[in-house]
């Protein structure tokens, strides 16, 4: 019998990967999860996870944060038997019907089935000063860096769910929050957009773009362009939420089928174009990217991966 290190290998431990780990383990599979940072992915940055079904306030206790939710998912997956390796995946190849995953430390793991749950990374604006002042006033995570700018002048760039959610959080730290969006209306869910527009601590500027970020040791001002032309505004921090880039580079050498935006195309079983490879969460081509969607896709991916493993072992139900 061919030796392999896991029945099911999951790359990425965001909500999709953690959900897949739980369901794969419940199917009595030997599950390994690779995560180079910390279990939770981008969900760790959610201040209040108010739109996850059942995650509601109880009396004076608010809904769980993304951090708390992720910690619960992690503990639950481990309780069912999933094992976690805090190391990144450097290379992915096919060897004799198995997937061979080379880790950043140099070792290689083999598995007959793999779930790609690598998520997406923050998209940069590529404006002057963004890279130079990253970590010195430029940030992509309000809950991570917002407390450093209490009562300071804060600019939020973006118009989606993340931008609105993070602007709300930042408004609790400062009453000098300006939010700009290049379009004439938010693309965020209606309830989030309405909350931002009604917040007296947030000034919203539509049809406005960020042209440059200025400063030497730290952010001191920004150049904005709006309907009345460009102008310089004093600023202490810039939080950018301009969308995401799917993390599919690991599987690129395998010829994985992607959509025009670079997301993994799957069928309804979460199976990608390569037999034995499944995708779930923000890395997958989907019309709606939310924590609840990622968790559901992870469960489906694990269930269907278990069925795939049974088929290749000749154990499937007839």
Answer for the pair 66, 43: CB distance below 8 angstroms, yes or no: yes
Decide if 141 is catalytic: yes
**Residue in 72, 144, 267, 310 annotated catalytic:** 144
One DSSP character per residue, 221-233 reads EEEEEETTEEEEE
For 149-163, give one letter per residue: b (16+ CB within 10 A) or e. beebbbbbbbbbbbb
Phi/psi-derived region of residue 207, left when phi > 0, alpha when psi is between -120 and 50, beta in every other case:
left
Decide if 144 is catalytic: yes
Other CB atoms within 10 Å distance of the CB of residue 266: 24
Round to whole Å and give the CA distance between 259 and 261. Answer: 5
**Residue in 7, 47, 72, 145 annotated catalytic:** 145
Burial class of residue 10 in the structure, from the number of CB atoms within 10 Å of its CB (0-12 exposed, 13-18 middle, 19+ buried): buried
**Residue in 5, 7, 60, 141 annotated catalytic:** 141
Report the first-to-last Cα separation within the chain, whole angstroms: 23
Distances in whole angstroms, Cα of residue 200 to Cα of each of 154, 179, 184, 237:
14, 12, 19, 19
Decide if 164 is catalytic: no
DSSP 170: H
Catalytic residues: 141, 144-145
């Amino acid at each position: 019998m061919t030796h392999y290190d896991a029945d099911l290998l999951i790359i990425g431990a965001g909500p999709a990967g953690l959900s897949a780990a739980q369901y794969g383990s419940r199917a009595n599979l030997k599950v390994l999860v690779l995560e180079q940072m910390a279990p939770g992915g981008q969900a760790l940055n959610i201040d209040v996870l108010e739109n996850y079904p059942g995650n509601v306030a109880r009396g004076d206790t608010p809904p769980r944060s993304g951090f708390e939710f992720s910690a619960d998912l992690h503990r639950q997956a481990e309780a069912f038997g999933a094992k976690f390796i805090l190391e990144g995946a450097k290379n992915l190849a096919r060897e004799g019907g198995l997937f061979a995953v080379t880790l950043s430390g140099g070792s290689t793991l083999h598995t007959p089935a793999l779930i790609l749950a690598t998520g997406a990374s923050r998209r940069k604006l590529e404006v002057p000063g963004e890279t130079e002042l990253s970590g010195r006033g430029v940030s992509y995570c309000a809950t991570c860096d917002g407390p450093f700018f209490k009562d300071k002048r804060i600019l939020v760039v973006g118009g989606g769910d993340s931008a609105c959610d993070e602007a709300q959080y930042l408004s609790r730290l400062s009453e000098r929050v300006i939010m700009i969006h290049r379009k004439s209306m938010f693309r965020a869910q209606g309830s989030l957009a309405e909350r931002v527009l009604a917040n007296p601590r947030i000034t919203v500027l539509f049809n406005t773009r960020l042209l440059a970020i200025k400063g030497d040791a730290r952010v001191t001002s920004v150049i904005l362009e709006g309907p009345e032309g460009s102008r310089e505004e004093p600023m202490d921090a810039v939080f950018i939420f301009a969308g995401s880039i799917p993390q599919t580079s690991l599987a690129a050498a395998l010829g994985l089928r992607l959509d025009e935006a670079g997301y993994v195309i799957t069928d309804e079983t979460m199976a990608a174009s390569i037999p034995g490879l499944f995708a779930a969460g923000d890395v997958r081509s989907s019309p709606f990217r939310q924590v609840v969607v990622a968790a559901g896709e992870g469960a489906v991916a694990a269930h269907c991966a278990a069925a795939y493993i049974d088929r290749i072992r000749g154990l499937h139900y007839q």
